[in-house]
């Protein structure tokens, strides 16, 4: 019994993934095509902004402003991109993402606002700014040079996958292999010890929120390229979905644990789950409730895991 519980708690993610896949595959006509679709097209978007959330969660905070950062930066950039200044547009988009992330970071480290409230408040303000900027309009019909970023493929695999993998590789390297990454983890695990060891913890946190902002605008940009439309409502669900994917992936809210690798699995679970509900003809209106449930369940699983670990030690 002990063994079964331990196994279940250690590998619940894989079990979950396979179970969902089994259910959806048993219903769809062409399971392989379905899986390909999910991995090639749906997962990369979710992955990129979920990485941002994951990094923030590793520092012991979280970033609920991902969606509005994505909307604001892409809408602003769209004004440039629509005039065919693609590179300047993309650069501006990423810069704006970094700048908004900087604001988040400063609110958290300097003004000492709780990360939850700070980013939730920023989400509100930035979204309001997008509404003002767009005034209810949309920007669409971008040049194909821009759209190819998301639509194109190489060797039969969508560009999105390459982009997501490249970002994953960079983040894995930075956060597993560099001094900065190590400091991020140590700050998240115990900010006091890190500060007393000479780590500039404020700087670490600010930079992480900037990276998170850049990742949000990157995924926003890809959405715009894919949908060929920049609008103020973009990314309404980013924060919620990213939090769900991060937590179910096994990155703990206590900070200092987990990583973007875990989130890949978390995102796959979320995407497969959504797809599964879709093929089961469950209304998409269930989305919000499912995200919420996933967050609660993963928080409970995390707790169970810890209790079990303590129990084993005793």
Partner 1 sequence: MKSNKYSRYREITGLLAGVAVLFVFMSFAAEGFFGWYNLHNVLKDLLILMVVASGMTLVILLGKIDMSAGSVMSLASIVTTLLLSYGINIVFALLGGLLAGAIIGLLNGYLVGVLNLNHFVATFATMSIAKGLALVACNGDIISSDSDVLLFIGTGKIFGLFFIVWFSAILLIIMFFLSTKTKFGYKIYSIGGSEQVARLSGIKTANVYLVTYVIAGVLAAVGGIFMAGKANSGNATIGDGYEFSVIATVLIGGTPFEGGKGGLLGTLIGAMFLAILKNGLSMLGFTPAWQYALIGLAILIAIVGDVSINERRKAEEKRRVGL
Partner 2 sequence: MTDTILEIRNICKSFSGVPVLEDINMSIKKGEVHVIVGENGAGKSTLMKIISGVYRKDKGELFFEGEPVQINNVQKALNVGIGIIHQEFNLLPHRTIGQNIFLGREPIKSNFLKIIDHDLICKKSKELLDYLELDIDPRTLVYNLGIAQQQMVEVAKALCFKSKVLIMDEPTATLTRKETVKLFEIIKKLRSEGVSIIYISHRLEEIKQIADTLTVLRDGRVVGDLSIENASIDQIIRMMVGREIKDQYERQYHLHGEEVLRTENLGAKRFSNVNISLHRGEIVGLSGLVGAGRTEIAKTIFGEDAIEKGSVYIYGKKYQRMSTQKATRLRIGLVPEDRKEEGAIMEMPIRHNIVHAVLPRLFKSAVISRKTELSVAKKYMEELGIRAPSVNKLVKLLSGGNQQKVVIAKWVCADCEILIFDEPTRGIDVGAKAEIYGIMSELVERGKAILMISSDLPELIGMCDRIYTIKDGMVTAEFSRTEATQEKILAACV
Triad 17, 284, 141: Cα angle to 5°:
105
User: Which CB atom, from 60 or from 213, has the smaller least distance to partner 2?
Assistant: 60
- Contact range with partner 1 by CB under 8 A, out of 73-81, 86-94, 147-155, 290-298: 290-298
Single residue of 198, 281, 283, 312 touching partner 2 by CB under 8 A: 198
Q: Residues in contact with partner 1, total (CB under 8 A)?
A: 39
Q: Per-residue contact track with partner 1, 50 to 89, x per CB under 8 A?
A: ------------x---------------------------
- Decide: is 116 part of the binding site for partner 1 (CB under 8 A): yes
Per-residue CA distances from 221 to 28, 54, 81, 200, 205 (Å): 31, 20, 11, 32, 24
Least distance (Å) between residue 114 CB and partner 1: 7
Q: How many CB atoms lie within 10 A of CB 161?
A: 17
For partner 2, what does the binding mask look like between residues 251 and 290, x meaning CB under 8 A? -----xx---------------------------------
Cα-based torsion angle of the residue sequence 191, 111, 126, 59 in order, rounded to the nearest 10 degrees: 0
Q: Does 125 bind partner 1 (CB under 8 A)?
A: yes
Binding positions for partner 1, 12-31, rule CB under 8 A? none
Contacts of 306 (CB under 8 A, 6+ apart): none
Question: Does 185 engage in binding with partner 2 (CB under 8 A)?
Answer: yes
Between β-strands 157-158 and 153-154, what pairing exists: parallel, antiparallel or unpaired? Answer: antiparallel
Among 1, 4, 32, 132, binds partner 1 (CB under 8 A): 132
Q: Rounded to 5 degrees, what are φ and ψ at 115?
A: -55, -35
* Number of residues binding to partner 2, judged by CB under 8 A: 21
220 close to 81: Cβ distance less than 8 angstroms: no
Among 11, 222, 196, 216, CA closest to 96: 216
114 binds partner 1 (CB under 8 A): yes
Scanning 10-18, 31-39, 257-265, 293-301 for contacts with partner 1 by CB under 8 A, the matching segment is: 293-301
- Cα–Cα distance between 187 and 114 in angstroms, integer? 16
Instruction: Give the containing element (helix H, strand E) for 230.
Output: strand 229-230
* 260 touches 168 (CB < 8 A): yes
Site residues, partner 2 (CB under 8 A): 177-180, 182-183, 185-186, 189-190, 192-200, 256-257
Site residues, partner 1 (CB under 8 A): 62, 107, 111-114, 116-118, 120-122, 124-125, 127-129, 131-132, 135, 240, 243, 247, 253, 283, 285-293, 295-296, 299-300, 303
């Amino acid at each position: 019994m002990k063994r079964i519980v331990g196994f279940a708690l250690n590998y619940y993610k894989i079990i979950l993934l396979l179970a969902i896949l089994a259910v959806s595959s048993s219903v769809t006509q062409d399971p392989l095509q379905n899986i390909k679709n999910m991995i090639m097209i749906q997962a990369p978007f979710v992955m990129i902004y979920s990485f941002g959330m994951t990094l923030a969660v590793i520092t012991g905070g979280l970033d609920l402003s991902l969606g509005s950062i994505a909307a604001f930066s892409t809408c602003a950039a769209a004004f440039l991109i629509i005039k065919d200044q693609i590179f300047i547009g993309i650069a501006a988009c990423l810069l704006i993402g970094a700048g908004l992330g900087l604001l988040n970071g400063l609110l958290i480290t300097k003004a000492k606002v709780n990360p939850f409230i700070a980013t939730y408040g920023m989400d509100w303000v930035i979204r309001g700014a997008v509404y003002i900027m767009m005034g209810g309009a949309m920007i669409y019909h971008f040049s194909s040079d821009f759209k190819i970023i998301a639509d194109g493929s190489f060797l039969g695999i969508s560009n999105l996958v390459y982009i997501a993998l490249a970002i994953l590789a960079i983040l894995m390297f930075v956060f597993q292999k560099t001094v900065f990454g190590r400091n991020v983890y140590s700050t998240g695990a115990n900010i006091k010890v890190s500060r007393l060891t000479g780590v500039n913890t404020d700087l670490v946190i600010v930079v992480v929120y900037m990276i998170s902002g850049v990742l949000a605008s990157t995924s926003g940009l890809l959405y715009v390229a894919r949908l060929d439309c920049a609008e103020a409502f973009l990314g309404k669900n980013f924060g919620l979905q990213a939090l769900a994917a991060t937590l179910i992936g096994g990155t703990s809210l206590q900070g200092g644990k987990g990583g973007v690798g875990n989130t890949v699995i978390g995102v796959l679970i979320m995407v497969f789950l959504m797809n599964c509900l879709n093929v089961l003809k469950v209304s998409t209106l269930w989305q919000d409730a499912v995200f919420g449930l996933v967050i609660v369940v993963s928080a409970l699983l995390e707790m169970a895991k810890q209790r079990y670990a303590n129990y084993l030690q005793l």
